[in-house]
Every structure is written in C-alpha cells, then in structure tokens.
Amino acid sequence: MKLSAGSKLCSAALLILLQACSGGNTSSGVAAGPPTPHADGTSAQATATFEIEIPLPTSASPLSSSARRPSYVSAATQSVKISVLTVNGTPPSGLAPTVANVTPTSNGCTVDAAQPGDYTCTIAAIVPAGSDSLEVSLFSSPGAAGSLLAQQITPVTINPGVANNVSAVLDADPGAITVTATANTGISGTQAAGFVTAGTIAQTLTIHVADKAGDLIGPALPGAPTLTAGSSVPTVASVSANTAAGTLSITPGTAFGSTTITVTANPATTTSGLTASATTFTVNNEPLIAAGGCAPSCSASLLAYGSGVFTTYGTLPAASFGSKEISAFGFDGNDTLYVADEPGDSTEGFLEFGNAEFDVPTPPTAPAPALTLTDANDLDGVTGFDVTREGTLSIANAGLNGSAPTNQFEAYAPGASAPELGMNFGSNAFGEAVAAMPSATGTIQGYAVALFNELSNTGSVGVVIPGGSGATCDSATSASVPCGLIPLGSADDVFADGSFDLVWDRADQALIVADYDATTNDYSLVQLDWNGSSFGAPIVLPVPSTADAGAYDSDGGPFLTVSADGHVAAVFTTTGANYDVRIYAPGTTLAARTSVDITSIVQPNPSGPEIADVELLPSDLPLILTTAASSNLCVYNLTPTPSVAACTTVANAIDAGVSASAVHRVFMGRPLRAARQTLWTLRHR
C-alpha cells in the first residue's frame, strides 16, 4: 500500500493518497525544510484527504480470490483507522484517530473505472503539520473492528505551503500458514498428518500465508511477510524457506525418524507493530526401499517405511528394463539404485544407470542407460555385487557356460565405466559373492571374494588388498597392478555347494562369512575381526540347531545383511522345512554379538511363502520379502516378541534393497551358467 502527501496551498488541505491495489504507482519522499510551528510552539493542523483502493469482495473463498489476485490490501478490508501517534516526538493532545468504513456501499466509495475489479474510497482526517508518526491500519469489520489485516507506522514530515510527497507500504498481518506437497515429488503427506520423505534428495513444499481474514497474501509483494523455517532435528531433515517463491526446501539428513518443522511468517518490516505467525508439522525421513522382479513381467516398486506405515512412491515399469530380468537390488549412499539382471536374457554383461535420475513417485517410462558395462569388461556370469555408501561397486563373476571368467572379481570407482581393479583366481575358480571392506571413513581396505571350485567341489575366500604386495591384479588400463591377497582357507569347505554369502560390518570392522560344512550338511557363521592389516581368530556365531542347507531350498542358506550400526540378520533353511531368521547384535566378540537374545522369526515352508530376501531397516527392524502368488514385504517388530508390524504387496518381487545400509549385499543364488547377467543403476530425485 502506498501513502503519498502534498499540500495544495499554504493554508489549504493536505492531499494524502493511499493506493491499495498491487502494482500501483510509486513516488519518492521529498522533504522541503523544517515544519513551521505556531507562535505557541504547536504545529498547525490541516484537513487531509486519504484515498484507498480495495479489491472488490467476490463470492469465491478468500483463498481462491486471493490466488486470483494476490495483494497486500485484502478484499476483506471494511474499515480504516488513521492515528497520529506523535508530532515532533510528542503524542498529540486531544487528537482522536480517524475511523472510516470502506465497503463498496460506504459514503465516499466508488468503483474504479480504470480497474472495475477495485473500488476507491476517500477519507477526511486531521493531520498536524510537523514531523508526524502516522499509524494506518486496515480491519475486516466496520468501525475498526474485526481482524487487523495490515498496518504500518511511518514517519511523515508535513510542511504547509509546499508540495510534500511521502510513501509507505502497509505490512500484511500474517495469519494462518498452510504447507502443501507438490504432486509428483519425492515427498508425500499433509500438514495435519505430517509429511514423509525418503532418500537424500531435497524436496520442495509450497507455503501459503493468509491474513487474519483468511485472504492469501501473495509472496514477493511489497508488505508481504518474510518466511523463516527451522528443524528440531537437523540430522533428520534440514529446511530453508524462500520468501520470494513461497516455498520450503526440505533436505533429508543422515538420520532416520521424525523432526518437527517450524515455519514462521514475519511482518515485512519491524516498524509496523505487527507480530509473526507460525505453524509446526512433522517430517519423517524414512529409508527408500526397492523391491521387484520378473514374475512374469518386470517391475520395480519404490517405497518407504516408517512408524508402521509403508508409503508407495511409484513403480518403475517393465519398459525401463527392456529384455532384462530383475534379480537383485542395492543402494549406495546417494540413493542410486543398482538393479541386477537375472540369468536367462540374451544381453551380455552389465547395464548401469548410475548417473541417470528418475522422478519419484512417477518415474519415466523407460530411462535411458547412462553407463553400459558389457562382457568387454569381463563380466560374464555375475553372481553377486556390493556397493558402498560412497558408490564403489564390486562384482563377483562366475563365468559363462561353465567356463571360468577372465576375472572372478572386479571393482569400479563411483560412476566409472571401466574397472579400476580385478583379479583372476585360477581357471577352476568361480566368484560367488563379494563384499567391499571400507574403513569407517570410507577408504577401501580390501575386497572379500567368495570362491567356488567346481572341479574339487570346495570353496574359499580371498581378500584382495588394493595397493598391497605379493599378488597381481589388473585394471582397465594395465594388465599388471600391484595388490595383496589374503587367502582364507577352505578346510571347512566354505561355500562348497554354492550356497553362500558374506558381508562386511563397517561399524565393527568385521567380515561375516556363511560357512558350509559339506560333511555334516550344516551351516555356521564365522566372524573375522579386521585390525587394519590382518584378521583375528575366527569367532563362530551360534546358528539354529536345525539349520540345514538341503532341507528345502536348493539355493540353501544362510544369506545375510548388516545394518549401519552393525546388526546382522541371517536367514537359514531348517530341517523342519522352514525359514529361520536370526538377528545378531553389534560387536567384535561372541558375547557382544549374542548379548541380545532375539527369538527366531520363522516362516513355514513349503506350505507357506518362501523367503526371498531379508534386509535391516536403519531402525534395525528386519524387512522380510516372501514370495508366493503375491509377494509380501513385511516389517517385523522384535520386542517383546517378534511380530509383524506392517506388510505390503509388491508385484513380481523376488528381491529387495534398502537405502542407507552399511553394506548393500546382493545375494543372487546359484548362477545359471548358460547366460550372463546385467546390473543397472538409477538415481532418484
């Protein structure tokens, strides 16, 4: 709102214009010397004329009408109060405020011919000459009653006998604040129920601020409130408000859970005498989950889980994968989704979508590959892969059509299209599983590779040390790259029938190996603590007494996963034709690992669904994928006794992956030698 003033004659009335519509003319303040006092030292008084232009009220709701015509003078304005607070620094004596009604039918109000959507009202008031402090206030009811809508306290120097020009903008009085999610973004929910976001990509909410009558105050207009925002738990989500755009940016943090967001609408200036308004709501930052497969069509569902509720963001359709067949998922720390191809397609090697982004919750129909890894990279029978938080990709290679691969192990730097390290373990060896061994800060200390010898029917683990000595590796640019090799013996026939897994516990700096004894047909879990250069003595972890590789599943068990804080989950098949899921506490000793006695989660089989995968959510709750006519993804509470917290159905699912785990281990089962596999990665935003 603009206030301008000028005297017509030395003893005549002052003309003060209050132009209210947005986009009105602007004038600059001009002072013409000190005011002229009366002989008694008091200032002369003059009758002033005020004009105010107001948007006509409509039958639409305040929000819709203001959305049509955002302005800092509300269409709900029905009266104006003009008060002279001080004259030459002293409150005036006996000068009452001027109050005038300004409805379309009030005296002195007429429709603006130039802007038929507005009407103009003329108000007479007494304004003393001198250095005045004027307070102009707009109200929602006649007689300066109802809600205060806008106000400003402005200094005005009025000199009789000369032209005076002054300007002022009324500040809107901020009222209710509404925050809404934009469609097709990676955040869902409502202000009342709270919002849910997943992953690491910043999301944007829209902020609407209304005045005390409910009329929307358009952002970035003179007199519009300024916006600020804060988060009670910045590690869950940090926020920043954009006043000009009327938006709130929410950036998920490194922690999962809930945070309270406060958005404040502050009066545009500190001189208006108005107070701020605020609203609070919750944001839950939840892990991003991918689950899917090809049974019979290929698809990948993107979900989040928190507080007992699954949030579905959308589905990546079959067209995104072409002729491929999804078999496994993994995430890095930037929420790049790695999708592995199942044996049986005609495409050789890997396809990687690591630098491509897809929108959540509506991904494009068929994102194009950003990176292709083919058999030219010696990928000819991939059985497993691992990706670190930092994006280092390592691959276990099992060969094609029964022949040993060129390399049973390869590692790729984040985003790289060619391997930076690879090793051939011999003509009869086949890579079965792999786990990178990053330090707590992310430096790769080694790669543990599970190996299987089909001729001798024995298994072992070899740990490749980048930059070490005593062995020879290769890379995309060199056939001879120095490296070290720590062999972990095959005395117990580790992985002898190809039923295997191993994971790296980054929190405890320990390797967990599923060890199979072909003589007894039983499994055990072995922990090897790493001291930075070598492993300590094996720590044998207890397993279910009925664990038996041959009980039901030809792929056997166990298969493993580990959370960021070091909890380990293992799935065993048992002699009772069941699946038995066990959780082990973090630690570098047997006592620590078994310090929490968690009752087994048992899934009946074959009468019930088959467990296809187990992951640990950042809350250390197990996420178990079961396959049957419909694939179920279920989260289990662990206390006081294991029980289902929530389930959701995922089409075609044979594997799942969860973001922000310490290790994204992918178990792909016994490979089919007749075909090769591919790996795709996609980036969500």
Q: Give the residue extent of every domain in the chain.
A: 2-169, 175-285, 287-684
pLDDT number for residue 597: 63
Answer yes or no: is pLDDT of 136 > 70: yes
pLDDT number for residue 628: 64
Dihedral sign for Cα atoms in the order 353, 354, 359, 361:
positive
| Percent helix, strand and coil across the chain, each to the nearest 5 | 0, 50, 45
Tell me how far apart the 2 most distant CA atoms of the chain are, in Å.
119
Q: Do 398 and 390 contact (CB within 8 A), yes or no?
A: no
Dihedral sign for Cα atoms in the order 643, 648, 653, 658:
negative
Mean pLDDT of 555-572: 78
pLDDT number for residue 280: 98
Answer yes or no: is pLDDT of 329 > 60: yes
Answer yes or no: is pLDDT of 194 > 60: yes
Tell me the residue ranges of DSSP E strands in 78-219: 79-87, 98-101, 109-111, 118-128, 130-141, 145-158, 171-172, 174-181, 187-190, 194-198, 203-211, 216-217
pLDDT number for residue 279: 98
Helix (H, G, I), strand (E, B) or coil at 206: strand
Q: What are phi and psi of 662, to 5 degrees?
A: -70, -40
- Nearest Cα neighbor of 129 from 51, 13, 40 is 13
Give the tens place of pLDDT for each residue, 225-253. Answer: 999 999 999 999 999 999 999 999 999 88
Among the listed ranges 207-211, 311-315, 572-576, which one has the minimum average pLDDT value? 572-576
Q: Do 347 and 678 contact (CB within 8 A), yes or no?
A: yes
Contacts of 589 (CB under 8 A, 6+ apart): 539
Helix (H, G, I), strand (E, B) or coil at 177: strand
Residue length of the chain? 685
CA distance 129 to 111: 32
Structure tokens that stand for 188 in this block: 């869902």
Answer yes or no: is pLDDT of 661 > 60: no
Answer yes or no: is pLDDT of 389 > 80: yes
Dihedral sign for Cα atoms in the order 349, 353, 354, 360:
negative
Among the listed ranges 59-68, 80-89, 431-440, 495-504, which one has the minimum average pLDDT value? 59-68
C-alpha dist (Å) from residue 61 to 67, 68, 584, 641: 10, 11, 58, 53
Answer yes or no: is pLDDT of 148 > 50: yes
pLDDT number for residue 380: 56
Give the tens place of pLDDT for each residue, 358-372. Answer: 344 444 444 544 555
Residue type at 368 in one-letter notation: A
| Average pLDDT score, the chain | 75
Answer yes or no: is pLDDT of 552 > 50: no
Mean pLDDT of 128-152: 93
Structure tokens that stand for 198 in this block: 């997943």
Find the helix or strand (DSSP H, E) in which 67 lies.
Answer: helix 62-68
Q: Do 203 and 250 contact (CB within 8 A), yes or no?
A: yes
Q: What are phi and psi of 572, to 5 degrees?
A: -120, 145
pLDDT number for residue 294: 73
pLDDT number for residue 364: 40
Answer yes or no: is pLDDT of 666 > 50: no
Strand-pair category, 568-573 with 578-584: antiparallel
Instruction: Find how far residue 364's CA is from the centre of its chain.
Output: 19
Contacts of 505 (CB under 8 A, 6+ apart): 511, 512, 562, 566, 568, 586, 662, 663
Q: For residue 396, how many C-alpha atoms fall within 13 Å in the half-sphere facing its CB?
A: 33
Q: Look up the pTM and report it.
A: 0.73
Among the listed ranges 419-433, 478-492, 592-606, which one has the minimum average pLDDT value? 592-606
Answer yes or no: is pLDDT of 37 > 50: no
CA distance 278 to 288: 31
Mean pLDDT of 518-528: 75
Strand-pair category, 336-341 with 326-331: antiparallel
Contacts of 23 (CB under 8 A, 6+ apart): none
User: Could you name the CATH architecture of 175-285?
Assistant: Sandwich (2.60)
Residue type at 58 in one-letter notation: T
How many helices (H) does the chain have, and how many strands (E)?
A: 2, 51
Higher pLDDT, 37 or 312: 312
C-alpha dist (Å) from residue 487 to 386, 406, 496: 20, 19, 16
Q: What DSSP assignment string belongs to 26-52?
A: ----B--S---B-TTSPBPEEEEEEEE
CB atoms within 10 A of CB 28: 8
Higher pLDDT, 533 or 556: 533
Please report which confidence band the pLDDT of residue 268 belongs to, taking 50, 70 and 90 as the band edges.
very high
Answer yes or no: is pLDDT of 16 > 50: no
CB atoms within 10 A of CB 258: 17
CA distance 149 to 1: 12
pLDDT number for residue 400: 52
pLDDT number for residue 681: 42
Fold of 287-684: Methylamine Dehydrogenase; Chain H (2.130.10)
Structure tokens that stand for 371 in this block: 């990176």
CA distance 20 to 487: 82
CA distance 342 to 15: 82
Ramachandran bin of 378, using left for φ above 0, alpha for ψ from -120 to 50, beta for the remaining angles: left
Q: What are phi and psi of 320, to 5 degrees?
A: -70, -20
Contacts of 105 (CB under 8 A, 6+ apart): none
- Nearest Cα neighbor of 291 from 303, 309, 283, 282 is 303
C-alpha dist (Å) from residue 366 to 140, 183, 321, 335, 650: 54, 20, 7, 19, 20
